[in-house]
Amino acid sequence: MANDYRRMWESLGVDLEAHDQLLSILPPTFGTVYMSQENRPEGMEYFNFVFSEVHGLRIQELQEHKAKGGKVIGAFCVFVPEEIIRAAGGICVGLCSGAEIGAAKAEQVLPRNICPLIKSFMGFKLGKVCPYFESCDMVVGETTCDGKKKAFEILNDYVPVHVLETPQMKRDKDKELWRSEVRDFLAEVENFTGNKVTAESLRQAIKDINGKRRALLRLSELRKNNPSPISGKDCLLIEQISMYDDVPRFTVQLNALCDELEVRVKEGNGVGKQGAARLIVSGTPMALPNWKAPHVIETSGAVIVAEEMCTGLRYFENLAPENGETVNDMVGDIAARYLDINCACFTPNKPRMDKLVQLAEEYKADGIIHCSLAFCDPYLVEANRVEKALQEHNIPLLKLETDYGQEDSGQIKTRVEAFLEMIGKK
């Protein structure tokens, strides 16, 4: 890949030496985490290919879109209404924030003890490591945590940033604030792209994004079967890819994979050993290429059957209505859909606790692992409420706190194995 795309990366201003370091890490890590799995579905070949071209073919597609006058808009959060970007002829891409590359440069403008995800995205930009970042004409931020909110001020020195004011509660006045933010975002996107969002274009964009969500929901439903027909690691990879791949193409390929998984379910062809513990992972999102905890969990003998995370169910579990008559109607529907996300930024956040209990029952989970990034205050603090709710329903819980380094992998494995042993004795 490097030889074919090197000139393109250079034209984007990517630091080729730093990028080479990243590429020297990613393929071996991917091979260890993913290609070592046994009995993988054949349909995962497409997602393997997408990852192998993660900084190649997809970046080339973005450049071709820009050459025709199109805009590329980057996002870090599931609160960014991608339907609006699509309706205005733009491409929405999720940005890299799951590796330590560029941390030294990030620490020149950020505190050392800050959430690894924030340090990662700032490091990727300041270090000019990520071709997606360098392809973005604008980045959309949100106020889901204080660290990100202030980091976006600094990021705006390097790329135009539009910040969505995400409410911290869900009262009527908060809902109205959010609707006004989504209306302002539509106006900003129209101005930035030079394209007017029409009722027709917005309705079609809603249908396209809902199609992607329905495919992801279909995959999620198939994981309720025992044995699960696909590993949690593969599903996390799919969910990560869903945030930057071409929408119609991704939807077709995922539905084809689900067709295969339905056959596997009928045949009783699953992953993991017979009677393997079924676990749900919750907490801070796991941005590409952060696969550490799921890899440790599944190589310890368990199977992850759901992710109650933003790189998981929160991204796709709710659909936007497709029958709006006017742009204003549809903007209201979109706003309501996004405010139904159970992010830890909300207080109180009882719907998230209820959801976890519901998921444990629906997926016949043996336990839940709450995995938070170090210094991620919303999720680290909310773990207390999660623990209380799960205790009331006798659902086993393991709380993990980690970062993007590999130094604690052994410790995590020891704790996961002890948790699995405890579950086995219940």
The full set of domains in the chain, from first to last, is: 2-195 (3.40.50.11890), 204-318+344-425 (3.40.50.11900)
| Rounded Cα gap, residues 324 and 307, in angstroms | 31
DSSP lists the bridge partners of residue 114 as none
pLDDT for 61-117, tens place per residue?
999 999 999 999 999 999 999 999 999 999 999 997 888 888 889 999 999 999 999
Mean pLDDT of the chain: 96
3-state helix, strand, coil split of the chain in percent (to 5) is: 55, 10, 35
Give the model's pLDDT for residue 426: 41
Question: In Å, how far from its chain's centre is CA 103?
Answer: 21
SS3 333: helix
**Predicted model pTM:** 0.96
195 by Cβ neighbours in 10 Å (0-12 / 13-18 / 19+) ranks as: middle
| Rounded Cα gap, residues 379 and 385, in angstroms | 10
| Rounded Cα gap, residues 48 and 50, in angstroms | 6
> What is the DSSP secondary-structure string of 128-163?
T--HHHHH-SEEEEE-SSHHHHHHHHHHTTTS-EEE
Q: Which tokens in the block code for residue 6?
A: 């090197």
Q: Which tokens in the block code for residue 393?
A: 């329903």
Helices (H) and strands (E) in the chain, counts: 19, 8
> What is the DSSP secondary-structure string of 245-310?
S-HHHHHHHHHHHHHHHHHHHHHT--SSSTTPPEEEEEES---TT--HHHHHHHHTT-EEEEEEST
Residue 148 CB partners (closer than 8 Å, separation 6+): 76, 115, 118, 141, 142
Instruction: Name the amino acid, one letter, at 154.
Output: I
| Cβ atoms of residues 16 and 10 within 8 Å | yes
What length is written for the chain? 426
pLDDT for 324-369, tens place per residue?
999 999 999 999 999 999 999 999 999 999 999 999 999 999 999 9
Q: Measuring CA to CA, how many Å separate 260 from each of 43, 151, 409?
A: 7, 43, 33
Share of the chain above pLDDT 90, in %: 93
pLDDT for 377-421, tens place per residue?
999 999 999 999 999 999 999 999 999 999 999 999 999 999 999
| Cβ atoms of residues 185 and 72 within 8 Å | no
pLDDT for 29-67, tens place per residue?
999 999 999 999 999 999 999 999 989 999 999 999 999
217 pLDDT exceeds 50?
yes
Give the model's pLDDT for residue 164: 98
